[in-house]
Structure 1
Amino acid sequence: MSKIENLIINGSGSYSGGSYEKVSIRGEGTIVQDVECAAFHVYGTSKAETNVKADKVKVLGEAKVRGDLEAKDTTVMGTLEIGGRARLEKIKILGQLEAGERLTGVTATIKGGLTVNGDVEYETFDSSGGFEIKGLLSADTIQIGLRYGDSKAAEIGGERIMVKRKKNSLLPFGKSLGTLTAQVIEGDDIHLENTKADIVRGNKVLIGPGCEIGLVEYTADLQLDQSSVVKTKTKR
């Protein structure tokens, strides 16, 4: 790939890929080949037909990557759609992100919306927004604050899993309507509120208010809120 200092798109059109220091899109730009850069910033509307690799990605407008996206630091304040795999080491979502395959990295902070058609794997996953993960959500530490809507994952696994209701100042009387739905939740230390799950497995398990659980399997300790429903509980 030829070395070009910057690619600045203020109008509209199609551009070749290559290696750049900075890619900045303020108009409507389509990049037709692989692009590698230090900074990839989208303020307008962008489409990358293949793969993007960048140190830092910032999306304030609308961005679509048909292939894979790899970045060290990603901030999404607009919308970002990824057709393939996404390796985003540090990500902060204030807008909307959609990944067609798996999403992996180190630290994820979700304050907007996240949709992933495959697995999500991070060391730390912190969500106070909403998400739909059709595969496995896996992280050492999972912290989910339920403010609104229904967050979903097929399976959730981690060492420490904390799911708590959060008051939403936009709703009357601070009423919380957020819920989490999963088929299986498995970890070492588990605290659940407003959660619907078929199976919960853990060492120390606390089932707080607003839960509907089919089966709880625990090793050391189980605490159960009287307002929640657990059909079957078993100590292993």
Structure 2
Amino acid sequence: MTKENNLTINGSGSYPGGEYDKISIRGDGTIVNDVECSIFHVYGTSEAVENVKAGSIKVFGEAEVKGNLQAEKMLIMGTMEVGGRASLKNIKILGTLEVGEDLTGDEANIKGTISVKGDVEYETFESTGGFEIKGLLNADKIMVSLRFGESSAEEIGGGVIHVKKKSSFVPFVKDTGTLTAKVIEGDDIYLENTKADIVRGKIVKIGTGCQIGSVEYTTELMHDPGSTIKTKTKL
């Protein structure tokens, strides 16, 4: 693509879709058709009426894609809303991401918050922020550090699932981060501050602050005396 394929929006208006090299939105821009580009940067307010496919996306302001979104790399410092599916290979969320259907990719690093109405599937999922997942969170490696608020997923599945509370840097502030799920299933599970109906795994370690309905394990179960487990079953 040549330089003439760049789209820069400094004011306000609607623009056609198509193929571009770089799209930079500093004002208030609407893209009315499917768009494909190498770089998509939003410093102001952006709305894409249909689908977006990009190599690299950075959102410092507010962006909305009403259709599906596909990207190799994404950094969100502001807010991003996707109406359909989001296929985002490598994401770093420092702001807010909302997805209307499924979210998939390779590596997810959540320092802000995500809200997903479908399933979330990654190879590695790391969160030190918060998440609300209406469907299944599935990843080979799930590392969650609970700092604030309530994170939740309908079900959580993976190889390694480690959930730990993170100490607050602010004095006199009580750690309030919690995780809630109906089912948590994996090979190597360690949980703190977690509420779950069923926990199922090979090696299961229940740390502090947990309320578990039943634990089913095949190899090993460790249980902090301060947490509650209603039933324990070795398979």
Judge same fold: TM > 0.5, yes or no. Answer: yes
Name the residue aligned to 2:114.
114
Which amino acid is 2:225 matched to?
Q
CA contact (8 A) 1:59 1:78 kept: yes
Name the residue aligned to 2:36.
36
Name the residue aligned to 1:214.
213
Are 2:174 and 1:175 aligned? Answer: yes
The Cα of 1:177 is off from its aligned counterpart by 1.0
Normalization by structure 1: what TM-score? 0.97
Which amino acid is 2:127 matched to?
S
Post-superposition Cα deviations, 1:83-140, rounded to whole Å, max 9, x if no partner, equal 0000000000000000000000000000000000000000000000000000000000
Are 2:152 and 1:144 aligned? Answer: no
Which amino acid is 1:43 matched to?
Y
Residue 139 of structure 1 aligns to a residue whose secondary structure is strand
Name the residue aligned to 2:88.
88
Give the Cα separation in 2 of the matches to 1:20 and 1:67.
18
CA contact (8 A) 1:196 1:212 kept: yes
Give the Cα separation in 2 of the matches to 1:80 and 1:87.
14
In structure 2, stretches of 5+ residues that fail to align are: none
Give the Cα separation in 1 of the matches to 2:58 and 2:180.
30
The Cα of 1:4 is off from its aligned counterpart by 4.6
Post-superposition Cα deviations, 1:178-200, rounded to whole Å, max 9, x if no partner, equal 00000000000000000000000
Name the residue aligned to 1:201.
200
Give the Cα separation in 1 of the matches to 2:30 and 2:148.
35
Which amino acid is 2:148 matched to?
Y
Query: How many residue pairs get matched?
Result: 234
CA contact (8 A) 1:167 1:174 kept: no
> Aligned in 2, Cα 1:4/1:85: closer, same or farther, shift over 3 Å?
farther
Amino-acid identity (%): 65
Residue 148 of structure 1 aligns to a residue whose secondary structure is coil
CA contact (8 A) 1:4 1:18 kept: no
Give the Cα separation in 1 of the matches to 2:192 and 2:117.
25
Name the residue aligned to 2:156.
156
The Cα of 1:41 is off from its aligned counterpart by 0.3
Normalization by structure 2: what TM-score? 0.98
The Cα of 1:169 is off from its aligned counterpart by 1.3
After TM superposition, the runs of 4+ consecutive aligned structure 1 residues lying more than 6 A away are none
Give the Cα separation in 1 of the matches to 2:173 and 2:75.
29
Residue 131 of structure 2 aligns to a residue whose secondary structure is strand
